[in-house]
C-alpha cells in the first residue's frame, strides 16, 4: 500500500478508500479516488503513496485519549503503543496530486474556552504490543518523580513532523512523555521507532510540548 506503485491499470485499497488507476491512449493514466480525478502523462515515473500527519484543517496538535488511564510507579517508565490517525499524500515526482483522510475525522478543544486550541482527536487503548491499525505511535512514559503518576491522554505536536512507513503500516516518530509535577512534557523525537522503516521528512526532533491542561 505505502510506497511506490506502477502507473498502470490496477486499484490500491487504503483503509476505507480505494484508488483506481486506468491506462488510456497516448501514455495517459487516469487517477480516480472518490470524486477526485487526475490525468497523468506516464513518463516512467511511479506513483507514491505516503503517510502524512493528520493536520486536517490546519491544526498543529493531535490529542490521543487513552481508553483507560496508565499508572506509572515512582522513578520508573512504561513503554507502549497507541492507535493514531494518519492522512494520505499521493505524489508523482515531488508534486502532490491528492491528499485525503482515512477513517473518521474528529476534533476537540484542548485547554480552556478562552485560551484553548482546536486539535485532532482520537481515542485508543494503550497497547503493550504493536496494534494492527494503519497508524501507530510508540510512547515511552517516564515518571522521574518520587510519587505515583497517572496519565489519561497525550497531546502530540504534529505540524512538520516526519513520518515512517512499511507495507500497510504508518508510524509516528518515537514519542517520549515525561511526567513533571502535574504537567507532562511530550518530546516528538523525530526518530523511527524501529529499524527498516522508510522515512517521509528529515527525521528532526520537534520542540518539546508541555501539557498544561
3-state secondary structure of 17: strand
pLDDT in tens, 116-159: 999 999 999 999 999 999 999 999 999 999 999 999 999 999 99
Distance CA 118, CA 27 (A): 45
Distance CA 38, CA 178 (A): 46
Q: Are strands 198-200 and 163-166 parallel, antiparallel or unpaired?
A: antiparallel
What integer pLDDT is reported at residue 57 of this predicted model?
A: 84
pLDDT in tens, 10-59: 999 998 999 999 999 999 999 999 999 999 999 999 999 999 999 998 99
Distance CA 32, CA 28 (A): 13
Q: State the pTM of this model.
A: 0.94
Q: Are strands 169-171 and 135-143 parallel, antiparallel or unpaired?
A: parallel
Domain ranges of the chain: 50-210
Q: What is the 8-class DSSP label of residue 10?
A: E
Q: Compute the C-alpha angle 103/172/155, nearest 5°.
A: 80
Q: For all residues of the chain together, what is the average pLDDT?
A: 95
| Bridge partners, residue 12, by sequence | 19
What integer pLDDT is reported at residue 113 of this predicted model?
A: 87
What integer pLDDT is reported at residue 49 of this predicted model?
A: 98
Amino acid at each position: 500500500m505505502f510506497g511506490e506503485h506502477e502507473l498502470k491499470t490496477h486499484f490500491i485499497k487504503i483503509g476505507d478508500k480505494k484508488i483506481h488507476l486506468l491506462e488510456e491512449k497516448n501514455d495517459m493514466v487516469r487517477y480516480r479516488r472518490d470524486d477526485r480525478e487526475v490525468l497523468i502523462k506516464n513518463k516512467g515515473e511511479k506513483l507514491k503513496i505516503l503517510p502524512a500527519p493528520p493536520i486536517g484543517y490546519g491544526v498543529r496538535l493531535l490529542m490521543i485519549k487513552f481508553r483507560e488511564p496508565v499508572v506509572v510507579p515512582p522513578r520508573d517508565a512504561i513503554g507502549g503503543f497507541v492507535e493514531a490517525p494518519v492522512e494520505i499524500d499521493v505524489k508523482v515526482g515531488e508534486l502532490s496530486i491528492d491528499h485525503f483522510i482515512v477513517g473518521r475525522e474528529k476534533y476537540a478543544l484542548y485547554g480552556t474556552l478562552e485560551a484553548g486550541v482546536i486539535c485532532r482527536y482520537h481515542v485508543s487503548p494503550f497497547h503493550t504490543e504493536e496494534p494492527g491499525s494503519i497508524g501507530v505511535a510508540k510512547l515511552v512514559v517516564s515518571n522521574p518523580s518520587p510519587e505515583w503518576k497517572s496519565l489519561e491522554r497525550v497531546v502530540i505536536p504534529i505540524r512538520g513532523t516526519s513520518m515512517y512507513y512499511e507495507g500497510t503500516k504508518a508510524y509516528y516518530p518515537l514519542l517520549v512523555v515525561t511526567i513533571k509535577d502535574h504537567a507532562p512534557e511530550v518530546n516528538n523525537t523525530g526518530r523511527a521507532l524501529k529499524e527498516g522503516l522508510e522515512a517521509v521528512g528529515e527525521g528532526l526532533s520537534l520542540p518539546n510540548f508541555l501539557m498544561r491542561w
